[in-house]
Amino acid sequence: MSNEAFRLLSRGGAAFDKSKSEVQLFNKKKRTQGKDSTAVNSESGQIPLELDFFKYAQNNGKRKPSESSNQPKGKRRKTASDEEDGDEEETSPKERKSTTHRVTTKGTNVPSHVDSFEELKTYTIPSHLFANLASNGYRDPTSIQSYCIPIMLEGRDIAAISPTGTGKTLAYLLPIFSKLGSPAPSSSGDVGTGVRAVIVVPTRELAHQIHNECLKLAQGRKWKLVLFSKATANSLSQKAARDKVDIIISTPLRLVAALREGNLELNNVRHLVLDEADRMLDTEFMPQIQEIVAACSHSRLQKALFSATLPAGAERLAMEMLDDPVRVVVGLKDTPLPLIAQSLTYVADDPSKLPSLLTYLAQPYDPPVLIFTSTQTRATSLAEELVLNGISNVDCLHAGMTQKERDDSLSRMRKGESWVMITTEVMARGMDFKGVREVINYDFPTTIQSYVHRIGRTGRAGREGKAVTFFTDEDAPYLKVIANVILQSGFTVPDWILKLPKPSKLKRRQMGKVKRPDIVNPARKVGRRDAVKKRDMVAGSKRRAAKVAENSSGRNIVAF
Ligand SMILES: Nc1ncnc2c1ncn2[C@@H]1O[C@H](COP(=O)(O)OP(=O)(O)OP(=O)(O)O)[C@@H](O)[C@H]1O
């Protein structure tokens, strides 16, 4: 990434200079979407002003709202997920909108934002943290960081929503490290005993990544940062060892297991972060989150929720959980970055997807490409098919693999050894691969949020990205849902899609439940069936031959 690009983008303005962009793994000619005959046009139209929080500064705030956009103008538009949830954002005296940063804040006595890390010096922030910011290339705060860091430094609870790849991790890590001051054993003052901060995330891969981000800020001090796993939980079975821990990063299940075994206390926790908050508050994780929140019993507990998406239902739960919270929204809620060029590609039916993908991969592409399927079996099957079709450096990562396989796969991806990574929803949230330029939704996303997070694996930290979504006749009833998101991001979609009927609430719920075959290539299934049949026939004839031999030898004995 060019640091300059990210700084400008995240602070309010950038012009992409291709000559400055990162060296591409292949120096092949880039494809343009328009040349793809099956792609449904969503080439970038003008970005509506209210979405253009990145480019504002570039034009000194004089940019006119898009005229070509087919967005309705005037008052705040409902976001696609508002429509999904029937949410209407209220305007209250407490709500403030910053036109410079395209940030909306809501809450009582909202602390002022900062425009530089330098301005944070009015707070008590240890100098080594500033040094670590600089040494890791963090020159200026992104919009979400500008707003969240002061809010968290003031000790306020927060619900923060900012698009994918805009630096939410640092937005909560910097204030946590600052408030903790120094590692527990050397800290003076009110440190108490026991873990002081907990960050909860949906996947182990994401926990690992956040642990790495913590290490960047921790340089030069002996912070005790724990990536919670079975092994680390065991190493903390002695209370004395646990009491030295500063920050734990964990998935909810792992944390709850340790709490139930009596191998962890959270009564000294001062900062609790739920990253990917809407996922953390869904029905699968909610019971564990409630247990964790209940265990964090310190009277001065600060709670912070972060996500790129927060549908109305999750937001209601979030707000109930927080005390006198500040809500910060960067850009439009549940909306992908305008940096990600989005398109929809019609592929008729499931068997047609593989040839379409092979055609796509036969042309020059920017590796690594991230491809999302709906199930683990389909991910494995697609990876097999690509390998059999001669595609190089194909990898696969899903929750059905062993931890070692997952780690190896991720490590190949990080080293640039994977050119095509097939995955499932497990990689949709939070994962930060700076080099991913293209995301393909091989299987239609299950929800608006799934779409926003999946495609948000590209277009990170100010880079451009491209997202292609295959749709079949079966997905057509849900097409308008995703088309609305594309529209909201400032792109245009063909009129015929806009004219499609709006799916009912019931229909939308079925969006993630489209049944797809386990195997992506039905021809292979036939081949497999034949192979199995042949194997069984051979085994059968061997058995029969053995029986005949046995019988005839028996007769021989009788004869003798
Ligand atoms: N102030 C900054 N200056 C430069 N780079 C930054 C800054 N803040 C964050 N980054 C980089 O931006 C990238 C994206 O950050 P991060 O993963 O925190 O995004 P996110 O908003 O949490 O995304 P997601 O919603 O997908 O979880 C990371 O590579 C991070 O190192």
Atom of ligand 1 nearest to the CA of 307: 25
Q: How far is the CA of 492 from the centre of ligand 1 (A)?
A: 27
Round to whole Å and give the CA distance between 22 and 25: 9
Contact 482, 469 (CB under 8 A): yes
Would you state the pLDDT for residue 237?
86
Output the pLDDT for position 541.
80
**For residues 242 and 264, is the Cβ–Cβ distance under 8 A?**
yes
What is the structure's pLDDT at 380?
96
Checking if the pLDDT of 498 tops 90, the result is no
List the beta strands (DSSP E) in 78-152.
95-98, 103-106
Question: Lowest mean pLDDT: which of 53-62, 282-291, 326-335, 540-549?
Answer: 53-62
Sequence-distant (6+) residues with CB within 8 A of 8 are 14, 15, 54, 57, 58, 462
Between residues 97 and 439, the one the model is more confident about = 439
Q: Which residues pair with 97 in a beta bridge?
A: 104
Here the tokens at position 206 are: 């994401």
Kindly report the protein residue whose alpha carbon is nearest to atom 2 of ligand 1: 138
Q: How confident is the model at residue 495 (pLDDT cuts 50, 70, 90)?
A: confident
The C-alpha atoms of residue 57 and residue 367 are separated, in whole angstroms, by 32
Measure 394 CA to ligand 1 centroid, in angstroms. Answer: 26
- Best probe residue, ligand 1, of 103, 169, 436, 451 (max atoms within 8 Å of C-beta): 169
Angstrom distances, CA of residue 548 to CA of 294, 538, 544, 545: 71, 15, 6, 5
SS3 243: coil
Give the ligand 1 atom nearest the CA of 206: 27
Determine the Cα–Cα distance for residues 547 and 42; give it in Å rounded to an integer.
67
* Length of the chain, in residues: 560
Distance 149 CA to ligand 1 centre (A): 14
The overall average pLDDT reported for the chain is 82
CA of 554 to the centre of ligand 1 (A): 77
Q: Which residue puts its alpha carbon closest to atom 13 of ligand 1?
A: 461
In order, the DSSP letters of 324-391 are: S-EEEEESSTT---TTEEEEEEE--SHHHHHHHHHHHHHS---SPEEEE-SSHHHHHHHHHHHHHTT-
Closest residue (by CA) to atom 31 of ligand 1? Answer: 167
Distance CA 527, CA 107 (A): 62
Ligand 1 centroid – CA 536 distance (Å): 54
Nearest CA, atom 23, ligand 1? 165
Query: From the alpha carbon of 137, which atom of ligand 1 is closest?
Result: 4
DSSP 153-216: HTT--EEEE--TTS-HHHHHHHHHHHHH-S-GGG--SS--SS--EEEE-S-HHHHHHHHHHHHH
Record the tokens describing residue 332, joined without a space: 């439009």
**What average pLDDT does the segment 419-441 reach?**
95
Closest residue by Cα to atom 9, ligand 1, is 167
| Atom of ligand 1 minimally distant from the CA of 432 | 17
Distance 185 CA to ligand 1 centre (A): 30
Atom 5, ligand 1: which residue's CA is nearest?
Answer: 138
Considering only CA atoms, which residue is closest to atom 15 of ligand 1? 167
> Ligand 1: which atom is nearest the Cα of residue 276?
27
- Helix, strand or coil for residue 49? helix
Map 478-530 to HEC letters. Answer: HHHHHHHHHHHCCECCCHHHHCCCCCCHHHHHHHHHCCCCCCCCHHHHHHHHH
Between β-strands 103-106 and 95-98, what pairing exists: parallel, antiparallel or unpaired?
antiparallel
For residue 315, give the amino acid letter: E
Ligand 1 interacting residues, C-beta cut-off 6 A: 6, 137-138, 141-142, 145, 162, 164-170, 308, 430, 432, 434, 456, 460-461
Instruction: Tell me the best of 53, 166, 414 to mutate to test the pocket of ligand 1, counting ligand atoms within 8 Å of each CB and taking the most.
Output: 166
Closest alpha carbon to 263 in 226, 208, 310: 226
In the beta sheet, which residues pair with residue 161? 307, 329
Which whole number is the average pLDDT over 289-296? 97
pLDDT digits (tens, 9 = 90+) for 414-424: 999 999 999 99
300, 307, 303, 302: which is closest to 275 by C-alpha? 307
Give the pLDDT of residue 31: 35
Distance CA 199, CA 155 (A): 16
Ligand 1, closest atom to CA 142? 1
Mutate to test the pocket of ligand 1, among 113, 168, 275 (most ligand atoms within 8 A of CB): 168
DSSP state letter for 111 = P
pLDDT tens for 7-25 read: 433 443 222 223 333 222 2
Structure confidence at residue 81 (pLDDT)? 59
ipTM score for this prediction: 0.99
Q: How far apart are CA 443 and CA 471, in angstroms?
A: 7
From the CA of 141, give the closest atom in ligand 1: 1
Residues facing residue 160 across a β-bridge:
306, 328
